[in-house]
Structure formats: structure tokens, C-alpha cells
Amino acid sequence: MSFGDTVMMEDDEPVSQPARPAGLQGLLEVFDRNGATVARLPVTHWPMTVGRALDADLVLDDVHVAAQHLRIEAGASGQVVVQVLDTLNGVRCGKTLHQRATRFDWPAGEDLVLGRLRLRLRLPGMPVAPEQRLPQLPWRTGASTVVLVLATVALVLVQTWFKASESARFAQAAVSVVGAMLGALLLWAGLWALVTKLFAGHPHFWRHVRIVCAALLADTLLSGTGYLMAFAFSWESLARFNFLLSAPVTAAALSLHLLVMAPQRRKTVVSIVVGITLLGTFAIMGSSWLQNKRLSNQLFMAAIFPPNWRLAATVPVDTLIRDAATIRQRLDERLKDGAEDENSEEEED
């Protein structure tokens, strides 16, 4: 006798056994914007309704989802059909927004967007993503972390040594400077790790440490190379606008920090960071122009290297004296403009 057959009791009255379960026909998964799983519902029958109402098969907690938002059905030819119900926001599939009272086929592997949630359907026979290794710190990653931290410490020590006038003062300042650098490094990476833990479920602390160290080293390398090139070839503009070389490094570091926290929103993160970086750069240059009538705050080369490192052609003494004589004229014109601005402000008052 198979499960679900009818058996006869002593009084010859038929008793029906429970019907065999239909089996798992699919799996509905709901994700938030950060990719975290919000809900998961096995599909044992068709159709399935999704919404905020308690009589829906899949109940979602999102104010941008209607009480009965959509109905999922199995089509005659094996495809999955979605019926959009009474909703204001509709359902987005790929780049297409489907409004109420519309029907469309749900492509395999495509997510539906309902309000601020994403709905995914897994059907029998669909390929399963390969297994991922548990988060570890292999020896290569650990070695790279140690190398980056030591390189950052060495960089700070070299900068401190250049600034120190005596060896005794260097020894005194080295301990405090390195301690402050390590403390700031741990604090910065710790804050990012805390935010990443809240949104992604894993802190990835050492990854944030590597990002900070790599950004500091890259910024120092680019800035130093810019000052060296400006000194060697007498490129004053490169020396004055050397701060612009730090902008892409800062933008890249912030993007990497954010992508550790939200890797599935790569385009959005990069676009926002690039936009903020450009806006901040223009704001700094605009503020400098309004205050000093120039786009940079630097008036001269801030870094001087050994004279034999210069590759630019030498300037005759007569030319140098003639150019220096024009400095007073330019200063007098600037003072005159400043006095006129003050007089105009006093007249307005």
C-alpha cells in the first residue's frame, strides 16, 4: 500500500490517508539593499502571492510594498509568469518597470525589485553557485599585511628623521610619532570594521588595515614624485597643484573601504565617491581663488632636493635678476587691489 491510498476499517468505512506533499518546486529569497537575506520561503504550490498582508504566501516588511503586490504563477510552457497586482510602485525586472495589472515572464536568474527589497527565485535544476571558502588569513595575506604596516612605520620614521635637527630629538620623537600613527591606524580601521560588521556580517579588519597602509604609501609616493619632477624640470604648476595627486588616492581608498562593506553596489559606490571627490576639489580651488585670486595656496616649491638632481636648463644671472625685479611690481599691484577692495567694503558699510 502506498502513502495516500484508501484503507478500510472494521466497519468498512473508507478512511483517506494524507495526500503526498507536492515537493519543493522552488525557493523564494528576499534580500535587502546590502545583500543580506531578509526572508526565505520554500515554494510548494503555484500560484504564490507576495505582499505585506498576512494572507500573502510571502509576507514582506517594507512600507513600499503593497498588501498584495504580485502573484507568481507557473506558465503552460514551463516559464514563470508574474502578475503585478494593486501596487503604486510596481515591480522592476532588470531595467523595465512593470506597473499594476501587467503580466510578464520572469527570466531565470533575474531578480525582481519590490520597494527596497530584491526577490530571487531558485528553481530545481538551476546551477548552484560554487562553494566559497571560510574567511581566513592565509600566509600570503598575513605577510602582505605585515609588510604594509612595517612600510608605513618606516615611512613615518623617515619623515620624522628629515624633520629632526638632532639625533637625540629624533629618538624622542620617533616613539611618540610611531605610537600615534599606529593608534590612528587601528582606530580608523576599527571604525570601518565595525560598520562593515553591521552591514556585511564580517568585520574584515585586516583588509581595512591594508587599504589604509596602501593609501598612505601611494599618496606619499605620488606626492614625492610630483615634487621631485617639479624640482628637476622647474615645473612650478606641478608643485603648486601637487595636492591634486592626493585626490585619486583618497577616492580609491574610500571606494575600497565602501566596497568591502557593500561589494554588490560597485557602480553606485564608485560614482558617489568620484562625485564627492570632484566636488571637494573644485570647492578647495574655488575657495582659494576667492580669497587669494589663485587656484592653489602654494606660492613656491615646498620641497627642495640636491642641486645635482636638477635636469632643467640653467637660467642666466641677468635673466634671474630681471625676473626678480618684477616681483616688487606684482606685489605693489596686489597691495593696490587689496586696498581698493577694502575701500569699497567701507563705502558699502
Tell whether 176 is covered by a domain.
yes
Tell whether 322 is covered by a domain.
yes
- 145 shares a domain with 117: no
Residue 346 corresponds to which cell in the numbers above? 567701507
Tell whether 4 is covered by a domain.
no
Tally of structural domains, the chain: 3
- 54 shares a domain with 188: no
Q: What beta strand segments (E) does 110-260 contain?
A: 112-114, 117-122
CATH number at residue 60: 2.60.200.20
- 110 shares a domain with 49: yes
**Residue 58 · residue 36 · CB < 8 Å:** no
Report the SS3 class of residue 118: strand
Tell whether 325 is covered by a domain.
yes
How do the pLDDT tens digits run along the chain, 349 residues long? 333 444 344 444 444 444 434 578 899 999 987 777 889 999 999 999 999 999 999 999 999 999 999 999 988 787 899 999 999 999 999 889 999 999 999 998 899 999 999 999 998 888 888 887 776 667 777 888 899 999 999 988 888 887 776 677 777 788 888 889 999 999 999 999 999 888 877 888 999 999 999 999 999 899 888 888 888 888 888 888 888 888 999 999 999 999 998 887 788 889 999 999 999 888 888 888 888 777 887 766 777 777 788 887 777 777 767 777 777 777 777 677 666 665 665 555 5
- 233 shares a domain with 155: yes
- 164 shares a domain with 97: no
- 207 shares a domain with 117: no
pLDDT value, residue 340: 60
Domain boundary among the residues 97, 122, 147 is at 122
Tell whether 198 is covered by a domain.
yes
Q: Which domain holds residue 63?
A: 26-122
CA distances from 123 to 25, 33, 58, 316 (A): 7, 23, 16, 81
- 156 shares a domain with 273: yes
Tell whether 21 is covered by a domain.
no
- 175 shares a domain with 85: no
- 176 shares a domain with 204: yes
pLDDT value, residue 14: 45
Tell whether 43 is covered by a domain.
yes
pLDDT value, residue 118: 93
- 314 shares a domain with 231: no
